[in-house]
């Protein structure tokens, strides 16, 4: 708000180099740019931590839903506000690290979620929720059974023939187990090439970081890695699986 005119008219110079109408110092271009970059960085970190984060699929455990090289966006606020396991790599005393402050929606059976890998909390895994609390899950010759009946399982993918399945491998025959309260059972869609809950157990609800939503860059990593010449590298548009661009993850 402008200063009243009467105050300006009565002001007296305090020394020979100062006047009542002295203009405020101007920020340098470098300072303004630095402040803008700092604010942008803070916003980016905040959004990435609590709202949405990009991930790249490194393995074939979720094929054909997610392919190696797919870049996806994960909605991190859909289930509620979760404080990450650390802030800039630091464990700050007093914060409920790795816990949900509040919940917005339950995790549903069939959701494709990113979670903290129980045997190694430095890693994130992505799998499909097969069982929620109270569900009894079994695998019989590769087929998932839910609460005593064969589970509708439209996303499953098999690579092993029925006659080649093992009666002692948890990949092919598992359970039955009942999912405890506050836990989830995860499996990869590619049931024959997924290291999942059949081998290492349940996932805590607090370790769910978000739900996969969309494939924003379906990058054919195998084809791109095989590029050996400059002309091959310049054909980057051939390494995008255009038919999968923008696909919603179900």
In 10 A of CB 62, how many CB atoms?
27
Question: Coil, strand or helix: which one is 34?
Answer: helix
Alpha-helix runs per DSSP H in the chain: 5-10, 29-50, 197-200, 221-225, 230-234
Given the residues 61, 76, 183, 194, select the one marked as catalytic. 61
Tokens encoding 202? 């349940």
Asked if 130 and 144 touch (Cβ cutoff 8 Å), the reply is: yes
- Residue 35: per-residue pLDDT: 74
73: helix, coil or strand?
A: strand
Please give the Cα distance from 8 to 21 (Å, whole number): 8
- What does the alpha-carbon distance between residue 223 and residue 127 come to, in Å, rounded to a whole number? 25
* Listed residue (91, 107, 94) closest to 206, CA to CA: 107
Tokens for 213?
Answer: 């939503």
Cα–Cα–Cα angle for 134, 137, 141, rounded to 5 degrees: 175
> Is the Cβ–Cβ distance between 74 and 214 less than 8 Å?
no
Quote the CA–CA distance of 102 and 88 in Å, as a whole number: 22
Q: Find the catalytic residue in 9, 59, 123, 127.
A: 127
Q: Residue 239's closest CA among 218, 220, 216, 226?
A: 220
The structure tokens listed for 124 are 């994130």
Using a cut of 0.95, tell me whether the model's pTM lies above it: no
pLDDT number for residue 198: 98
Determine the distance from the C-alpha atom of residue 228 to the mean position of all C-alpha atoms in its chain, rounded to a whole number.
32
- Closest to 178 measured CA to CA, from 207, 149, 219, 146: 146
Q: Which two tokens stand for residue 180?
A: 């405890």
Question: What is the C-alpha to C-alpha distance for residues 155 and 140, in angstroms, rounded to an integer?
Answer: 17
Helices (H), 134-196: none
Decide if 127 is catalytic: yes
Whether 218 and 185 have beta carbons less than 8 Å apart is answered as: no
pLDDT digit string (tens) for the chain, length 250 residues: 443 333 333 334 344 334 445 545 566 777 777 777 778 777 777 777 778 999 999 999 999 999 999 999 999 999 999 998 877 667 777 788 899 999 999 999 999 999 999 999 999 999 999 999 999 999 999 999 999 999 999 999 999 998 999 999 999 999 999 999 999 999 999 999 999 999 999 999 999 999 999 999 999 988 888 777 776 667 788 899 999 999 999 9
Report the 10 Å Cβ neighbour count for 242: 9
Query: What count of residues does the chain have?
Result: 250
User: What does the block give as tokens for 175?
Assistant: 């359970």
């Amino acid at each position: 708000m402008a200063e009243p005119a009467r105050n300006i008219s009565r002001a007296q110079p305090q020394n020979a180099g100062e006047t009542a109408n002295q203009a405020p110092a101007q920020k340098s271009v470098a300072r303004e740019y630095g402040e803008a970059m700092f604010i942008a960085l803070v916003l980016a970190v905040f959004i990435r931590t609590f709202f949405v984060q990009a991930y790249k699929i490194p393995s074939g455990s979720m094929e054909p839903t997610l392919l190696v090289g797919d870049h996806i966006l994960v909605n991190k606020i859909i289930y509620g506000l979760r404080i990450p396991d650390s802030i800039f790599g630091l464990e700050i005393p007093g914060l409920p690290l790795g816990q949900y402050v509040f919940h917005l929606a339950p995790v549903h059976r069939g959701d494709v979620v990113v979670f903290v890998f129980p045997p190694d909390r430095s890693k994130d895994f992505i799998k499909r929720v097969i069982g929620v609390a109270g569900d009894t899950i079994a695998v019989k010759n590769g087929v998932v059974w839910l609460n005593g009946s064969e589970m509708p399982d439209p996303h499953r993918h098999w690579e092993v023939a029925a006659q080649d399945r093992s009666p002692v491998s948890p990949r092919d025959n598992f359970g039955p187990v009942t999912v405890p309260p506050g836990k989830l059972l995860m499996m990869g869609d590619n049931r024959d090439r997924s290291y999942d809950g059949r081998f290492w157990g349940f996932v805590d609800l607090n370790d769910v970081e978000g739900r996969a939503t969309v494939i924003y860059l379906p990058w054919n990593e195998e084809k791109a890695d095989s590029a050996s010449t400059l002309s091959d590298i310049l054909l980057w548009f051939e390494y995008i699986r255009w038919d999968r661009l923008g696909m919603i993850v179900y």
